[in-house]
Amino acid sequence: MIGERTRIALLLAPALAVILVLFGGGLYAALLQSLGYFPAIGMTEPGLDAYRAVLTSPDFLNSLALTVYVAGASTAISTVLAVLLALALRRAPGRISTALFQLPVTVPHLVAAVGVALVVTQTGLGARIAAALGLIGEPADFPALLYDRYSAGIILTYVWKETPFIALIVLAALRGVASELEEVAQTLGANAWQRFWYVIFPAIYPAVVAASLVVFAFTFGAFEIPFLLGQDYPTMLPVTAYREYRSIDLSARPAAMAINVILALLTALFAAAYLRLSRELRRG
Protein backbone atom coordinates (compact mmCIF):
# COMPACT_ATOMS: atom_id res chain seq x y z
CA MET A 1 0.00 0.00 0.00
CA ILE A 2 1.31 3.44 -0.83
CA GLY A 3 0.92 6.28 1.64
CA GLU A 4 -1.69 9.00 1.36
CA ARG A 5 0.87 11.72 0.59
CA THR A 6 2.53 9.68 -2.15
CA ARG A 7 -0.89 8.97 -3.62
CA ILE A 8 -1.78 12.66 -3.74
CA ALA A 9 1.60 13.50 -5.26
CA LEU A 10 1.17 10.83 -7.94
CA LEU A 11 -2.35 12.03 -8.78
CA LEU A 12 -1.16 15.63 -9.14
CA ALA A 13 2.06 14.78 -11.00
CA PRO A 14 0.78 14.74 -14.62
CA ALA A 15 -1.09 18.07 -14.39
CA LEU A 16 1.73 19.78 -12.50
CA ALA A 17 4.28 18.38 -14.96
CA VAL A 18 2.37 19.87 -17.92
CA ILE A 19 2.05 23.26 -16.24
CA LEU A 20 5.55 23.42 -14.75
CA VAL A 21 7.36 22.21 -17.89
CA LEU A 22 5.34 23.70 -20.76
CA PHE A 23 4.12 26.87 -19.02
CA GLY A 24 6.67 27.45 -16.22
CA GLY A 25 9.52 26.32 -18.46
CA GLY A 26 8.32 28.68 -21.18
CA LEU A 27 8.17 31.63 -18.78
CA TYR A 28 11.64 30.73 -17.46
CA ALA A 29 12.98 30.65 -21.02
CA ALA A 30 11.31 34.01 -21.66
CA LEU A 31 13.00 35.41 -18.53
CA LEU A 32 16.44 34.15 -19.64
CA GLN A 33 16.01 35.62 -23.11
CA SER A 34 14.78 38.92 -21.67
CA LEU A 35 18.00 39.09 -19.66
CA GLY A 36 19.92 38.80 -22.89
CA TYR A 37 20.93 35.17 -22.42
CA PHE A 38 20.44 33.97 -25.95
CA PRO A 39 23.34 31.73 -27.03
CA ALA A 40 21.72 31.01 -30.41
CA ILE A 41 22.62 34.52 -31.57
CA GLY A 42 25.76 34.77 -29.48
CA MET A 43 24.33 36.67 -26.52
CA THR A 44 25.78 35.10 -23.38
CA GLU A 45 26.21 38.12 -21.09
CA PRO A 46 23.07 38.44 -18.98
CA GLY A 47 21.95 41.95 -18.04
CA LEU A 48 18.98 44.20 -17.50
CA ASP A 49 19.45 46.22 -20.69
CA ALA A 50 16.21 45.05 -22.27
CA TYR A 51 14.18 46.08 -19.22
CA ARG A 52 15.92 49.45 -19.06
CA ALA A 53 15.19 50.01 -22.75
CA VAL A 54 11.59 48.77 -22.58
CA LEU A 55 10.59 50.62 -19.43
CA THR A 56 11.91 53.95 -20.69
CA SER A 57 10.61 53.65 -24.25
CA PRO A 58 7.54 55.74 -25.11
CA ASP A 59 6.34 52.86 -27.33
CA PHE A 60 6.07 50.55 -24.35
CA LEU A 61 4.47 53.16 -22.10
CA ASN A 62 1.89 54.03 -24.78
CA SER A 63 1.19 50.33 -25.21
CA LEU A 64 0.81 49.85 -21.46
CA ALA A 65 -1.52 52.86 -21.20
CA LEU A 66 -3.66 51.55 -24.07
CA THR A 67 -3.79 48.10 -22.47
CA VAL A 68 -4.92 49.50 -19.11
CA TYR A 69 -7.50 51.67 -20.91
CA VAL A 70 -8.99 48.89 -23.07
CA ALA A 71 -9.01 46.31 -20.26
CA GLY A 72 -10.39 48.86 -17.79
CA ALA A 73 -13.10 50.20 -20.10
CA SER A 74 -14.15 46.72 -21.26
CA THR A 75 -14.33 45.48 -17.67
CA ALA A 76 -16.19 48.53 -16.33
CA ILE A 77 -18.81 48.58 -19.10
CA SER A 78 -19.30 44.79 -18.96
CA THR A 79 -19.66 44.81 -15.18
CA VAL A 80 -22.25 47.60 -15.05
CA LEU A 81 -24.25 46.09 -17.93
CA ALA A 82 -24.05 42.62 -16.41
CA VAL A 83 -25.36 43.73 -13.02
CA LEU A 84 -28.22 45.67 -14.64
CA LEU A 85 -29.12 42.74 -16.90
CA ALA A 86 -28.93 40.24 -14.06
CA LEU A 87 -31.17 42.40 -11.86
CA ALA A 88 -33.69 42.77 -14.68
CA LEU A 89 -33.57 39.09 -15.60
CA ARG A 90 -33.56 37.42 -12.22
CA ARG A 91 -37.30 36.74 -12.40
CA ALA A 92 -37.21 35.61 -16.03
CA PRO A 93 -37.20 31.83 -16.64
CA GLY A 94 -33.75 30.67 -15.54
CA ARG A 95 -33.13 28.22 -18.35
CA ILE A 96 -33.86 30.71 -21.13
CA SER A 97 -31.64 33.48 -19.76
CA THR A 98 -28.87 30.99 -19.02
CA ALA A 99 -28.98 29.58 -22.55
CA LEU A 100 -29.03 33.10 -24.00
CA PHE A 101 -26.03 34.22 -21.95
CA GLN A 102 -24.05 31.07 -22.61
CA LEU A 103 -24.06 31.67 -26.35
CA PRO A 104 -21.59 34.62 -26.31
CA VAL A 105 -19.58 32.95 -23.54
CA THR A 106 -19.09 29.81 -25.64
CA VAL A 107 -18.59 31.28 -29.13
CA PRO A 108 -14.88 31.79 -29.97
CA HIS A 109 -13.52 35.34 -29.61
CA LEU A 110 -12.55 35.42 -33.26
CA VAL A 111 -16.16 34.80 -34.33
CA ALA A 112 -17.32 37.57 -31.99
CA ALA A 113 -14.72 39.96 -33.45
CA VAL A 114 -15.76 39.22 -37.04
CA GLY A 115 -19.44 39.58 -36.14
CA VAL A 116 -18.96 42.87 -34.30
CA ALA A 117 -16.83 44.15 -37.18
CA LEU A 118 -19.66 43.39 -39.64
CA VAL A 119 -22.05 45.38 -37.41
CA VAL A 120 -19.92 48.47 -36.75
CA THR A 121 -17.93 48.83 -39.97
CA GLN A 122 -18.91 51.84 -42.09
CA THR A 123 -20.89 49.68 -44.52
CA GLY A 124 -22.07 47.34 -41.74
CA LEU A 125 -25.42 46.54 -40.25
CA GLY A 126 -25.27 49.54 -37.88
CA ALA A 127 -24.59 51.97 -40.74
CA ARG A 128 -27.35 50.39 -42.84
CA ILE A 129 -29.86 50.79 -40.02
CA ALA A 130 -28.69 54.38 -39.50
CA ALA A 131 -29.18 55.00 -43.23
CA ALA A 132 -32.65 53.44 -43.17
CA LEU A 133 -33.55 55.79 -40.32
CA GLY A 134 -32.22 58.71 -42.35
CA LEU A 135 -29.44 59.45 -39.85
CA ILE A 136 -26.61 59.12 -42.38
CA GLY A 137 -26.43 59.49 -46.17
CA GLU A 138 -23.33 57.49 -47.06
CA PRO A 139 -20.98 55.05 -45.28
CA ALA A 140 -18.37 57.74 -44.54
CA ASP A 141 -20.94 59.55 -42.34
CA PHE A 142 -20.93 56.63 -39.93
CA PRO A 143 -18.26 56.92 -37.20
CA ALA A 144 -15.11 54.84 -37.75
CA LEU A 145 -15.27 52.26 -34.98
CA LEU A 146 -12.66 49.81 -36.25
CA TYR A 147 -8.86 50.27 -36.06
CA ASP A 148 -9.67 53.56 -34.29
CA ARG A 149 -7.81 55.45 -31.57
CA TYR A 150 -10.51 54.73 -29.00
CA SER A 151 -10.36 50.98 -29.69
CA ALA A 152 -14.15 50.96 -29.93
CA GLY A 153 -14.26 47.73 -31.95
CA ILE A 154 -12.09 45.89 -29.41
CA ILE A 155 -14.08 47.16 -26.43
CA LEU A 156 -17.44 46.37 -28.07
CA THR A 157 -16.31 42.81 -28.83
CA TYR A 158 -15.13 42.30 -25.25
CA VAL A 159 -18.35 43.78 -23.87
CA TRP A 160 -20.37 41.36 -26.01
CA LYS A 161 -18.27 38.39 -24.85
CA GLU A 162 -17.75 39.25 -21.18
CA THR A 163 -21.05 40.84 -20.09
CA PRO A 164 -22.90 37.49 -20.20
CA PHE A 165 -20.00 35.82 -18.35
CA ILE A 166 -20.32 38.26 -15.43
CA ALA A 167 -24.14 38.25 -15.65
CA LEU A 168 -24.28 34.46 -15.23
CA ILE A 169 -22.18 34.68 -12.07
CA VAL A 170 -24.27 37.57 -10.70
CA LEU A 171 -27.51 35.72 -11.54
CA ALA A 172 -26.31 32.69 -9.57
CA ALA A 173 -25.53 34.94 -6.58
CA LEU A 174 -28.90 36.73 -6.91
CA ARG A 175 -30.83 33.48 -6.94
CA GLY A 176 -29.05 32.35 -3.81
CA VAL A 177 -28.97 34.31 -0.59
CA ALA A 178 -29.94 37.66 -2.08
CA SER A 179 -33.53 36.72 -2.99
CA GLU A 180 -34.39 35.39 0.47
CA LEU A 181 -32.86 38.39 2.23
CA GLU A 182 -34.65 40.74 -0.13
CA GLU A 183 -38.04 39.33 0.81
CA VAL A 184 -37.23 39.80 4.47
CA ALA A 185 -36.22 43.41 3.78
CA GLN A 186 -39.41 43.97 1.83
CA THR A 187 -41.59 42.70 4.67
CA LEU A 188 -39.67 45.03 6.97
CA GLY A 189 -40.67 47.94 4.73
CA ALA A 190 -37.45 48.70 2.79
CA ASN A 191 -38.02 50.52 -0.51
CA ALA A 192 -36.51 49.37 -3.83
CA TRP A 193 -33.36 51.50 -3.56
CA GLN A 194 -32.78 50.52 0.08
CA ARG A 195 -33.25 46.88 -0.82
CA PHE A 196 -30.67 47.18 -3.58
CA TRP A 197 -28.07 49.15 -1.64
CA TYR A 198 -28.31 47.46 1.76
CA VAL A 199 -29.32 43.90 0.85
CA ILE A 200 -28.68 42.89 -2.75
CA PHE A 201 -25.48 44.79 -3.46
CA PRO A 202 -23.54 43.51 -0.41
CA ALA A 203 -24.69 39.97 -1.25
CA ILE A 204 -23.52 40.04 -4.87
CA TYR A 205 -20.50 42.35 -4.41
CA PRO A 206 -17.82 39.65 -3.86
CA ALA A 207 -19.02 37.66 -6.90
CA VAL A 208 -19.06 40.83 -9.02
CA VAL A 209 -15.51 41.77 -8.01
CA ALA A 210 -14.18 38.24 -8.59
CA ALA A 211 -15.78 38.01 -12.05
CA SER A 212 -14.57 41.50 -13.03
CA LEU A 213 -11.05 40.59 -11.96
CA VAL A 214 -11.06 37.55 -14.24
CA VAL A 215 -12.33 39.70 -17.12
CA PHE A 216 -9.72 42.42 -16.47
CA ALA A 217 -6.86 39.91 -16.35
CA PHE A 218 -8.11 38.20 -19.50
CA THR A 219 -8.62 41.36 -21.57
CA PHE A 220 -5.24 42.61 -20.34
CA GLY A 221 -3.38 39.63 -21.77
CA ALA A 222 -5.46 38.49 -24.74
CA PHE A 223 -4.03 38.72 -28.23
CA GLU A 224 -6.54 37.88 -30.95
CA ILE A 225 -9.07 40.73 -30.80
CA PRO A 226 -6.62 43.64 -30.51
CA PHE A 227 -4.51 42.04 -33.26
CA LEU A 228 -7.53 41.87 -35.57
CA LEU A 229 -9.46 45.05 -34.69
CA GLY A 230 -6.79 47.32 -33.22
CA GLN A 231 -5.09 50.39 -34.67
CA ASP A 232 -1.49 50.26 -35.95
CA TYR A 233 0.00 52.34 -33.15
CA PRO A 234 0.03 52.02 -30.22
CA THR A 235 -0.94 48.37 -29.89
CA MET A 236 -1.91 46.45 -26.76
CA LEU A 237 0.92 44.73 -24.85
CA PRO A 238 0.50 41.18 -26.19
CA VAL A 239 0.42 42.50 -29.77
CA THR A 240 3.46 44.70 -29.10
CA ALA A 241 5.36 41.69 -27.70
CA TYR A 242 4.41 39.58 -30.72
CA ARG A 243 5.47 42.27 -33.19
CA GLU A 244 8.84 42.67 -31.48
CA TYR A 245 9.20 38.88 -31.51
CA ARG A 246 8.41 38.66 -35.19
CA SER A 247 10.82 41.48 -36.01
CA ILE A 248 13.53 40.48 -38.48
CA ASP A 249 16.05 42.12 -36.15
CA LEU A 250 16.91 39.32 -33.69
CA SER A 251 18.22 41.85 -31.17
CA ALA A 252 14.57 42.90 -30.62
CA ARG A 253 13.91 39.53 -28.98
CA PRO A 254 15.10 40.43 -25.47
CA ALA A 255 12.68 43.39 -25.59
CA ALA A 256 9.82 41.12 -26.70
CA MET A 257 10.62 38.73 -23.87
CA ALA A 258 10.89 41.57 -21.34
CA ILE A 259 7.35 42.65 -22.31
CA ASN A 260 6.21 39.02 -21.91
CA VAL A 261 7.76 38.80 -18.45
CA ILE A 262 6.14 42.10 -17.37
CA LEU A 263 2.80 40.89 -18.77
CA ALA A 264 3.13 37.58 -16.92
CA LEU A 265 4.02 39.28 -13.62
CA LEU A 266 1.09 41.70 -13.80
CA THR A 267 -1.46 39.01 -14.69
CA ALA A 268 -0.04 36.68 -12.01
CA LEU A 269 -0.74 39.48 -9.54
CA PHE A 270 -4.37 39.60 -10.72
CA ALA A 271 -4.55 35.80 -10.35
CA ALA A 272 -3.28 36.00 -6.77
CA ALA A 273 -5.84 38.71 -5.96
CA TYR A 274 -8.59 36.59 -7.52
CA LEU A 275 -7.61 33.49 -5.53
CA ARG A 276 -7.52 35.42 -2.28
CA LEU A 277 -10.89 36.93 -2.96
CA SER A 278 -12.53 33.64 -3.92
CA ARG A 279 -11.12 32.02 -0.77
CA GLU A 280 -12.67 34.78 1.34
CA LEU A 281 -15.88 34.30 -0.63
CA ARG A 282 -16.01 30.63 0.27
CA ARG A 283 -15.37 31.42 3.92
CA GLY A 284 -18.34 33.78 3.68
Partner 1 sequence: MDKRNRSAGIALALAAVLVTTPLLPLALWSFAGEWRFPDLLPASWSLRGWEALLAPGSRFTEAVLNSLVIAAAVTAAAVVIGLPAGMALGTHDFRLKGVVIFIILLPILVPPLASTMGIHLTFIRLGLADTMFGVFLVHLVPTVPYTAIILTSVFAERTGELEEAARTLGAGPWQAFWHVTLPQVAPGVAVAGLFAFLISWSQYILTVLIGGGTVITLPMLLFSAASGTDPVITSTLAVVFALPAVVALLLALRYLNPGNERGFLGVGKVS
- Between 76 and 172, whose beta carbon lies closer to partner 1? 172
Specify the stretch interacting with partner 1 by CB under 8 A; choose among 69-77, 179-187, 191-199, 254-262: 254-262
Q: Which is nearer to partner 1, 200 or 228 (CB)?
A: 228
Options 5, 193, 283, 284; binder of partner 1; rule CB under 8 A: 5
Per CB under 8 A, 96 contacts partner 1: yes
| Stretch of residues binding partner 1 (CB under 8 A), selected from 53-61, 65-73, 176-184, 237-245 | 237-245
Rounded least distance, CB 184 to partner 1, Å: 18
Considering the rule CB under 8 A, would residue 103 count as an interface residue with partner 1? yes
Applying CB under 8 A, among 145, 162, 174, 203 the residue interacting with partner 1 is: 162
Q: Check binding of 268 to partner 1 (CB under 8 A).
A: yes
User: Which 14-33 positions form the footprint of partner 1 (CB under 8 A)?
Assistant: 14-16, 18-20, 22-31, 33
Cβ at position 134, least distance to partner 1 in Å: 10
**Per-residue CA distances from 261 to 28, 84, 254 (Å):** 9, 37, 10
249 binds partner 1 per the rule CB under 8 A: no
Quick check: 227 binds partner 1 (CB under 8 A)? yes
